[in-house]
Structure 1
Amino acid sequence: MDPVGAEPGAPWNTFVEGDNLDVLTGLPAESFDLIYLDPPYNTGNDFAYRDDFRGERGSGAAGRHEAWTTYLRPRLEAGRRVLATTGAIFVSIDDHEVAHLRLLMDDVFGEAHFIAQVVVNLNAKGRQLGGGFATCHEYVLVYARDAAACVLDASSSHTVVEADFPLTAPDGRRYRRLPLRNTNKKFNPVTAPTLHFPVWGDPASGRVATEPFAGAHEITPIFGDLTPAVWRWSRPRIEERPDDLECRVVRGGAGERVDVFQRDWRHPVGGRRKKLRTIWLAEEIGSTDTAVAELKDLLGPVFESPKPTGLLLRILDTMPDDARVLDYFAGSGTTGHAVALANAADGGRRTCLSVNLPEATRPGSNAALAGYDTVAAITRARLRAVAERLGGGFAELS
């Protein structure tokens, strides 16, 4: 089987029905840049996959966890084989197996290649049924194939908000002030001597220069306790970007002093991204409710707990816009849907291979009543509908 996206003009979405382990075996090594998985959570609740491993190996909870990890291990190992050296894998999970999955992925990918354990808030109200706390979160575990080579950028342009830049320049551009002084005491005149030098600034005009001028104060970098510090910028960079600096009077515990600040622009050349936090809120990425509504808009109410496309769009945004994406627990097809949305929005050339078993839907479920006998039939129908609505094409491999 040729890797998806190997040929110019490949469809955005390709689907394979079959056992994911068999499909992975037929894929070339290092043929994908990003893998997203939403495997069975081992709760026994969802209709989409066999999701209860009790009684298969040993007895009790320990046996159930062991059976689940035994099932998942070869699928993660096969996924690692097809993941590019520069690639990353994201795996959704909840409290039932997160501890076991973390240990399993440490073993398969290597603890040194762990990137993050993200808390994902997909149910803002929390689950109200049952005892105990109203659970409102699950997790996404993120690992690199090779952390040193991984191209994942844990930031996003969508998390940059106007309120972060409260000041307005005369030309209308918004900005915030950042100290030009390096606030990390690990960087000081001993560890970074070339960054400790005087500059000159005038708090009346705001002008900053590396040479004296009329009305200027000589300024050397110091910490709040008045011990010597260093600048974040070199002398040549200050000379290249004087308009991005300003001199101001500041008031601290030691009284007034003159200091230098960077004007950090809301829209710098090349755009701006903001580091992603490890808690993703439903208001940012959508929820299970919005995911159900998205799927209902395409096919009707045929899947009980799909993932929102917003979650996948955030994940896709951490990788290049020509990423080759693989989802071999494709469920309702959210990953492929998100790939099409991302490409339509930014002109990217991402491709996605979705793999799903012909797992029978639950008798009497909305999916079965709508004529979808298997979960794979839902995946296929959604990706076809996405191609009709958004373009990009759809192909099915055998």
Structure 2
Amino acid sequence: MQDRPTNVFAEGDNLDVLARLEPGSFDLIYIDPPYNTGSAFAYHDDVRGPRGSGGAGRHAAWVEMMRPRLEAGRRVLAESGAIFVSIDDNEMPYLRLLMDEVYGEANLLAQIVVNLNAKGRQLGRGFATSHEYVLAYARDAARCVLDASSPATVVESDFPLVADDGRRYRRLPLRNTNKKFNPVTAPTLHFAIWGSPETGEVRVDPFDGAVEIKPVFGDGAPAVWRWSRPRIEERPGDLVCRWVEGVTGRRADVYQRDWRDVTHDGRGRRKKLRTIWLAEEIGSTDTAVAEVKALVGKVFESPKPTGLVRRILDTMPADARVLDYFAGSGTTGHAVALANAEDGGRRTCLSVNHAEPVRVGSDADRAGYRTVADVTRARLRAVADVVGGGFAEL
């Protein structure tokens, strides 16, 4: 059993809450801070831009609001951890420079484009903006455990072949196709193996009907195998011999059967994440609104979809300690509960939200919520009831 509930909520200014947390106590941080689109901040740190500086002063005030909160977040992030920050075009360049300053330019993992509105925003002048950004930084890139891949991005079409037992696979050359690896740079991987193009059988020693096969590049130059001799001996069923046509004529070659559902590292099949995330993959603002509505009603105008956070969760271990100190509607805690329910993980999440009054006349106001923190709390309680994992307050 898990020692603590999946979701814990703390109401208050995030600077105050972060100051009470133990250094290095979280593996993953995701935050969706205010985008500085002209409305007043909920965080009043007595920071003002220079008189008469107009937009520049507004950007400066936003940066100075964010700086101590990023520094405080870094303090509680484990050395092996990572932080993901959502942002729009308005503050992207300022946030990028600020993150470089606080976390170090060398610890940038990715600048991800997130398509949350496939149709584009049709109101206002100019282009129909359909994207935002997520900046990902490591606490220490050399020690970070983040794996920039996901099982969710593996698709059936990547594995077009079907074995007699129904398993899907693809063929990969057993030969190393990178010319940096050759008999000079990797001499132990240049050796002969034996195969039968008629039966497909592959062995390290001669057998009846087999031909000797050495690794060569397409132009006939000597190459090396990707697998060692002992590995070939261990996994002959994952190899197949076939005739191929090359510039030197027909020859026998060896391929790996790369199975859709089986890997040999114990993690299951994964695929590297691209730096453009589409709404059809992770959800949109519309689907995010529907997720909140299903739990507590239509009370939040622009939440993030749980699919966005779940993709981030996929990059970290299944027992990650997660922190969101700009919790908004509670998307991160919801995503953590969903991920645990699906894969049996032991992730936990601390969500922190300021007691910012809801806008007068808004859906949340009409629904009886006094503050945004009240919305966060209500959603996380509903998540505990519907998805499971429990709920507590700090």
Q: TM-score range by the shorter chain?
A: over 0.9
Q: Does 1:89 align with 2:86?
A: no
Following superposition of structure 1 onto structure 2, how do residues 167-316 of structure 1 map, counting pairs within 5 Å? 167-268=161-262, 270=266, 271-316=268-313
Secondary structure (helix, strand or coil) at the match of 1:295 reads helix
**Residue equivalent to 2:366:** 369
**Residue equivalent to 2:133:** 139
Between the aligned partners of 1:379 and 1:240, the Cα distance in structure 2 is 53
**Equivalent AA in structure 1 for residue 388 of structure 2:** G
Between the aligned partners of 1:254 and 1:118, the Cα distance in structure 2 is 45
Q: Over residues 18-65 of structure 1, what are the superposed CA-to-partner deviations in whole Å (9 max), with x where a residue is unaligned?
A: 1101111111100001100001111126x99579x9973451332222
Report the identity percentage. 74
Between the aligned partners of 2:56 and 2:177, the Cα distance in structure 1 is 49
Q: Does 1:358 align with 2:351?
A: no
Secondary structure (helix, strand or coil) at the match of 1:66 reads helix
Secondary structure (helix, strand or coil) at the match of 1:348 reads coil
**Residue equivalent to 1:31:** 25
Q: Does 1:128 align with 2:122?
A: yes
2:339 to 342, 362, 368: 342
**Equivalent AA in structure 2 for residue 139 of structure 1:** Y
Q: Over residues 313-362 of structure 1, what are the superposed CA-to-partner deviations in whole Å (9 max), with x where a residue is unaligned?
A: 11111111111110000000000111111112222111111111111111
**Residue equivalent to 2:37:** 43
Contact kept in structure 2, 1:19 and 1:357, CA below 8 Å: yes
Contact kept in structure 1, 2:160 and 2:169, CA below 8 Å: yes
Q: Does 1:317 align with 2:311?
A: no
Q: Over residues 81-115 of structure 1, what are the superposed CA-to-partner deviations in whole Å (9 max), with x where a residue is unaligned?
A: 00011111111111111121111111111111111
Contact kept in structure 2, 1:48 and 1:361, CA below 8 Å: no
Between the aligned partners of 2:41 and 2:281, the Cα distance in structure 1 is 26
Between the aligned partners of 2:279 and 2:340, the Cα distance in structure 1 is 23
Q: Does 1:56 align with 2:86?
A: no
Contact kept in structure 2, 1:192 and 1:230, CA below 8 Å: yes
**Residue equivalent to 1:3:** none
Q: 1:342 to 1:249 in 2, by over 3 A?
A: same
Coordinate RMSD, CA, aligned: 1.9
**Residue equivalent to 2:378:** 381
Contact kept in structure 1, 2:47 and 2:64, CA below 8 Å: no
**Residue equivalent to 1:69:** 63
State the 1:253 CA deviation.
4.0
**Residue equivalent to 1:117:** 111
Secondary structure (helix, strand or coil) at the match of 2:194 reads strand
State the 1:149 CA deviation.
1.3
Q: Does 1:153 align with 2:147?
A: yes
Between the aligned partners of 1:94 and 1:185, the Cα distance in structure 2 is 42
Q: Which runs of 5+ in 2 are unaligned?
A: none
Between the aligned partners of 1:305 and 1:140, the Cα distance in structure 2 is 16
Between the aligned partners of 1:343 and 1:214, the Cα distance in structure 2 is 52
**Equivalent AA in structure 2 for residue 182 of structure 1:** N
Between the aligned partners of 1:54 and 1:88, the Cα distance in structure 2 is 28
**Residue equivalent to 1:392:** 389
**Equivalent AA in structure 2 for residue 210 of structure 1:** V
**Equivalent AA in structure 2 for residue 257 of structure 1:** R
State the 1:226 CA deviation.
2.1
Secondary structure (helix, strand or coil) at the match of 2:152 reads coil
| Greater Cα offset, 77-86 or 248-257 | 248-257
Q: Runs of 4+ in structure 1 displaced over 4 angstroms?
A: 47-51
Q: State how many pairs are aligned.
A: 389
Contact kept in structure 1, 2:106 and 2:141, CA below 8 Å: yes
Between the aligned partners of 2:379 and 2:167, the Cα distance in structure 1 is 43
TM-score by length of 2: 0.94
State the 1:163 CA deviation.
1.4
Contact kept in structure 1, 2:288 and 2:305, CA below 8 Å: yes
Between the aligned partners of 2:245 and 2:7, the Cα distance in structure 1 is 58
**Equivalent AA in structure 2 for residue 15 of structure 1:** F
Between the aligned partners of 1:14 and 1:347, the Cα distance in structure 2 is 19
Contact kept in structure 1, 2:47 and 2:65, CA below 8 Å: no
